[in-house]
Structure 1
Amino acid sequence: MPQRRVVTGRSQEPRQRFAEELRRLRSQKGITLRQLGERMGWDWSLFGKMEKGDTIGSPEVAEALDGFYGTPGLLLAMWELAAGDKSQFRERYRRYMTLEAEAVSLWHFAVSVLPGLLQTRGYAREVLSAGGLKGPELDQQVEARMSRRELLEGDDAPPFRTILSEAVLRTTLRDKAEWRLQLDHVAEMTERPNVAVHVLPFSAGPFGLDSTDVWFLRLSEGRTVAYTENAHRGDLIEQNAAVEKLQRVYDVVRDLALPPAESRKFVLRMLEEVPCDPLT
């Protein structure tokens, strides 16, 4: 049996391997990035970032490129490998955190957990513990989350809008005293001029973001990026068409939610339902 030939010169890291294949296919096609953008209907700069490994784009983009290059399923499979690489999740999250610090305004939707910018120390510790963190790593992550709250403080704090599914406020902590402190903190935050809190009640019915936590960051140069997240992974979305599509869904959800004044009353009613410690 002939020996298997070893392929050299190609990266074994999923994200870089994906970028290399994109460059190879375009070169083989003999077109420029700008020509690729024109033919695909996407901003050509997206493909440039994908070929440099700065982003992997979306599965829709990978699937469309499969059709264009005549590689059915290949690029989509490589995209999935790149998306599943934990090191890339950390890289995307680090980039998101950098952009969050630079944002001139932030919009958010929460499915089941309060956003980190509104979390108390006790809430953050219980939620992170439920995710498997413990010991020094847990302490480090709690402190990191607490430091994020400084973003909403000060005279130059950016406007922040969050829509909280009612499920967020119905998922209580095991420690009722900590849960009371958390609800009290949310109520206090609703009084800040730069913070708008909406509650999406169960009575609103089905909605388009029923399984997705999403952030929108408006940056100083005028563009908006999005970050979607679940318990296992997060995706930074910078492609204009994909961000716009998410924003349209977000706008519909915002229209279904209670206005800020009614949402504050909702949170205060939830606070009244939490039993007080008779020793307090």
Structure 2
Amino acid sequence: MAALFGARVRRLRFAAGLTQAELSGKVHVVGTRITQIERASGAKPTLDLARALDVALGADDLLVELWPYVYREAFPDWSRRFMECAERAVAVREYAAHVVPGLLQTEQYARAVLSVGLTLSSEEQLEERLTVRMARQERLGSPDRPDLWVVLDEAVLRRPIGGCDVMRAQLELLLCVAAEHDITVQVLPFDQGEHDVMGGSLTVLTLPDGSEVAYTEGAHYGQLIEEPAEVSRFTVTYDRLRANALPPLMSLDMIRSAMEGCNRGANVPSRSERRRVAQEQLQQSGGRQLRGGRRRNPGGRRPRP
């Protein structure tokens, strides 16, 4: 797809009578960047660059429409397939174990989530991934918006991703979207105990033809399930989750309670302050410091590894 995108840019550039240097000036990038795009080498074009090229070359949104397919090439086959299904789904049922689902994230919350780990190697990649995530949400405001049913583990509400201010805004958004007729939000409380999807998340998509696919995801893996019998099993699992979750109105009360916890969080000692106090307590008891220092070793014997 990157090669196809580059070929289209080259053809449109020739038709416009522009050199690579002239085109680079119009879209405000170095000339070698246009060479990389046309040869499908180097970094893939960002969405903003695709938009700029589309305008400069009068492509009538052709390049913007091609860009998602170029972007997806960085993902495994099963992940690309899931994204394609999600874009066409008429109903989305999702259980989120750790973070708010991407379709309902605020921009700052999404930025905090995407900034964690080693999956992105540059600020440009982060901005690109963030742009795509926010663009996916546009479908919720379109006439063909899917029915969305989300079950949030209580942990999603309690962990202050991005800090209290970011988390408070995220919880406010959840309260707002839960008022929509075709969006249902439930919370699965801690006291519900064990369940079938502990440690991961689950999404069941209903496609326009009535068929369904399921997608399970953990911290470093994902799996798309399309075999009907297996999908049916995951559908039953999801039905059990939402049956065990709090009803929607009680769920909203828990979200409001979590927001109040964020407000009180302003009085919680900072990480550095908690570390300092813990370190002093450990030193007083002869324990190991959190950073540096050694545990006292009576008798001078080396502890076993």
2: CA distance, partners of 1:131 / 1:146: 20
- Shift in CA distance, 268/142, structure 1 to aligned 2, threshold 3 Å: same
Q: 1:191 aligned to 2:179?
A: yes
TM-score by length of 1: 0.65
* SS state at 2:160 partner: coil
1: CA distance, partners of 2:75 / 2:239: 27
CA contact (8 A) 1:165 1:199 kept: yes
Looking at both structures, which has the greater relative contact order when contacts are Cα pairs under 8 Å and sequence separation is at least 6? 1
CA contact (8 A) 2:109 2:162 kept: no
Determine the structure 2 residue equivalent to 1:151. 139
CA contact (8 A) 2:213 2:224 kept: yes
CA contact (8 A) 2:108 2:162 kept: no
* SS state at 2:100 partner: coil
Determine the structure 2 residue equivalent to 1:112. 98
Q: 1:131 aligned to 2:136?
A: no
CA contact (8 A) 1:99 1:217 kept: yes
CA contact (8 A) 1:214 1:228 kept: yes
Determine the structure 2 residue equivalent to 1:102. 88
* Cα drift, residue 88 of structure 1: 9.5
Determine the structure 1 residue equivalent to 2:237. 249
2: CA distance, partners of 1:238 / 1:219: 12
* Cα drift, residue 224 of structure 1: 0.5
Question: Counterpart of 2:117 in structure 1: which amino acid?
Answer: G
1: CA distance, partners of 2:138 / 2:162: 27
* SS state at 1:130 partner: coil
Determine the structure 2 residue equivalent to 1:8. none
Determine the structure 2 residue equivalent to 1:227. 215
CA contact (8 A) 1:177 1:277 kept: no
Q: Over residues 123-162 of structure 1, what are the superposed CA-to-partner deviations in whole Å (9 max), with x where a residue is unaligned?
A: 1111111123341001111111111111211343111001
Structure 1 runs of 4+ with >4 Å offset: none
RMSD over aligned Cα atoms: 1.9
State the percentage of identical aligned residues: 36
* Cα drift, residue 277 of structure 1: 10
2: CA distance, partners of 1:192 / 1:250: 21
Q: How does 1:61-100 map to 2 (within 5 A)?
A: 90-100=76-86
Which one has a bigger Cα radius of gyration?
Answer: 2
Question: Counterpart of 2:221 in structure 1: which amino acid?
Answer: R
1: CA distance, partners of 2:168 / 2:198: 26
Structure 1 gap ranges (5+): 1-86
